[in-house]
Structure 1
Amino acid sequence: MLIATWNVNSIRARHERLVAFLERHTPDVVCLQELKCEAEVLEALNLESLGYQVAANCQKTYNGVAILSKRPIEDVAIGLGDGEDDPQARLVSATIDGVRVVSAYIPNGGEVGSDKYVYKLRWLERLRAWLDAHCDPTRPLALCGDFNVAPEARDVFDPAAMEGDTLFHADSRDRLQRILDWGLVDTFRLQHEDAGLYSWWDYRMLAFPKNRGFRIDLILATPSLASRVEGSSIDREERKGKQPSDHAPVLVKIA
């Protein structure tokens, strides 16, 4: 099974690039974030014609997540389901060939100390509680998405300067670590130990050509699934060319 995760930053703007990506890599499962469209718009793109079933949690203009699969999708669940009044479409989960697949879009957080940052930390806490309540760390699960948190110093172009940034703040990393502690493995790091390997670069200040990036797009897996990882990569080519997303896709191959 080849699994990919990609924050497309508007599926309408990136539709042609998404189709080309699917044709080039032919992934079995793709988790998408920041669809920024309603369900009717997603349906009109007719991704089924490319051989994919679609499960999505859509929202007009903002957020939105989806799972595309060449294999049957079962037991679809929308959102965290924890009873909190939260209209933002940030999570969808489904079972595919016995693997529970989750596509998540964690809040950016804006400025540290702002209401948006409080919401981000709370959302990460809710995600951990959702794992506790609905998932089993002994069974195959892949939690994929844009986490808006770089896990370690080697995942940031300048960790000293970015210490106070929402994407690398100690509070954000602490909440992410609690999710990992539930029983998840960062699959990319099973194959790659080097620093300087990123998945997101700001559109501004020549961040991509200068490789001033963050690795914030992750595929986390339970040990039973992580033990079957054969390869992982970041497709930097998708950050190049005409109208790219500011994120690059991350891929992992499961035996």
Structure 2
Amino acid sequence: MRIATYNVNGVNGRLDVLIRWLEEAAPQIVCLQELKASDDRFPWRAVEAAGYGAIWHGQKSWNGVAILARGSDPLESRRGLPDESDDPASRYIEAVVEGMVVGCLYLPNGNPCPGPKFDYKLRWFERLIAYAEELLELDVPVILAGDFNVMPSELDVYKPERWVDDALFRVEVRDAYQRLLQQGWTDALRSLHPQERIYTFWDYMRNAYARNAGLRIDHFLLSPGVAARLKRGDVDSHVRGWDHTSDHAPVWIELSDKPSRRRKGNG
């Protein structure tokens, strides 16, 4: 089974890119972020024509998340994190697909830092950490996938010395990510590629993609039962080179039908 996460950076403006990639990669499950479309503007007909059922949590011009399932309809289990009644941003949606709980998230960017946006990022992260612990306690297969807006280590960012004061690389944010892993989650891509520089995002500016001046900010966190089924994972980085594409590339993992080996939670 192939599962993917992709920050599309505008689902309607880049619909041709999304459909082209879906046809090429044919993942069974897809988490999308940064739809930048209200619920009534989500292109469900085009997605359905490509062979996918979908649920989505949209927001006009900003944010927005969706889960697609090939040949079936995801069963929505949550929309928004707990304790966010005062937060209008559409950043989390969850569904049961193929016997797994799949949470799709778009964590706040947090810049400029310091400031209110960074404080909001840390508050959102704390809600995610609390809810992630609840999910693990259910003892069911869970995947948390999406744009975390975090580079967990120096291996995940080109020229890390330039990013020390950025909200994506601040020590508070990286510490929060590590606290997530310490609950028992596995960072899928880093588990599979422990020493490789792998990027999932390249800025539109300064010829970043051609120079491979990237960041790894799109992640899969797997509960122990799912981590035991992890076979492969990588980034479809060539999609970042397509015309009118997102500044992110799709990230994917493959799971076996049965556990193949035991993995430690911190990947």
Give me the whole-angstrom Cα distance separating, in 1, the residues matched to 2:199 and 2:84: 35
Kindly report which structure 2 residues correspond to 1:92-131, keeping only aligned pairs within 5 A, or say none. Answer: 92-131=93-132
Report if the CA contact (8 A) 1:100-1:141 is conserved.
Answer: yes
How much identity, in percent, do the aligned residues show?
39
Q: Which deviates the most, 37-46 or 175-184?
A: 37-46
Shift of 1:43: 4.2
Report if the CA contact (8 A) 1:234-1:248 is conserved.
Answer: yes
For 1:47-96, what per-residue CA distance to the aligned partner results, in whole angstroms no more than 9, with x for missing partners? 11222111111101100000000244224310013244000000000111
Q: 1:239 to 1:43 in 2, by over 3 A?
A: closer
Q: Which amino acid aligns with 1:143?
A: L
Report if the CA contact (8 A) 2:44-2:54 is conserved.
Answer: no
Shift of 1:46: 3.1
Shift of 1:19: 0.4
What residue is the counterpart of 1:58 in the other structure? 58
Instruction: Tell me the TM-score normalised to structure 2 length.
Output: 0.91
For 1:156-194, what per-residue CA distance to the aligned partner results, in whole angstroms no more than 9, with x for missing partners? 101222111111110110111122222210111222123
Give me the whole-angstrom Cα distance separating, in 1, the residues matched to 2:76 and 2:12: 27
Q: Which deviates the most, 172-181 or 66-75?
A: 66-75
What residue is the counterpart of 1:216 in the other structure? 217
Q: Which deviates the most, 198-207 or 136-145?
A: 136-145
For 1:87-125, what per-residue CA distance to the aligned partner results, in whole angstroms no more than 9, with x for missing partners? 000000011121100110000001221110110111000
Q: Which amino acid aligns with 2:174?
A: R
Give me the whole-angstrom Cα distance separating, in 2, the residues matched to 1:99 and 1:44: 23
Give me the whole-angstrom Cα distance separating, in 1, the residues matched to 2:143 and 2:135: 14
Give me the whole-angstrom Cα distance separating, in 1, the residues matched to 2:44 and 2:196: 40
Return 5+ residue gaps in structure 2 as ranges. Answer: 257-267
Give me the whole-angstrom Cα distance separating, in 1, the residues matched to 2:136 and 2:38: 28
Give me the whole-angstrom Cα distance separating, in 2, the residues matched to 1:246 and 1:84: 31
Shift of 1:138: 3.3
Q: 1:177 to 1:137 in 2, by over 3 A?
A: farther
Return 5+ residue gaps in structure 1 as ranges. Answer: none
Give me the whole-angstrom Cα distance separating, in 1, the residues matched to 2:146 and 2:44: 24
Report if the CA contact (8 A) 1:72-1:97 is conserved.
Answer: no
Instruction: Tell me the TM-score normalised to structure 1 length.
Output: 0.95
Give me the whole-angstrom Cα distance separating, in 1, the residues matched to 2:119 and 2:213: 26
For 1:7-45, what per-residue CA distance to the aligned partner results, in whole angstroms no more than 9, with x for missing partners? 000001110011011101110000000000011211454
What residue is the counterpart of 1:38 in the other structure? 38
What residue is the counterpart of 1:18 in the other structure? 18
Report if the CA contact (8 A) 1:232-1:252 is conserved.
Answer: yes
What residue is the counterpart of 2:265 in the other structure? none
Q: 1:98 to 1:171 in 2, by over 3 A?
A: same
1:243 aligns with 2:255: no
Cα RMSD after superposing both structures: 1.4
For 1:183-221, what per-residue CA distance to the aligned partner results, in whole angstroms no more than 9, with x for missing partners? 210111222123431001111111111111110000110
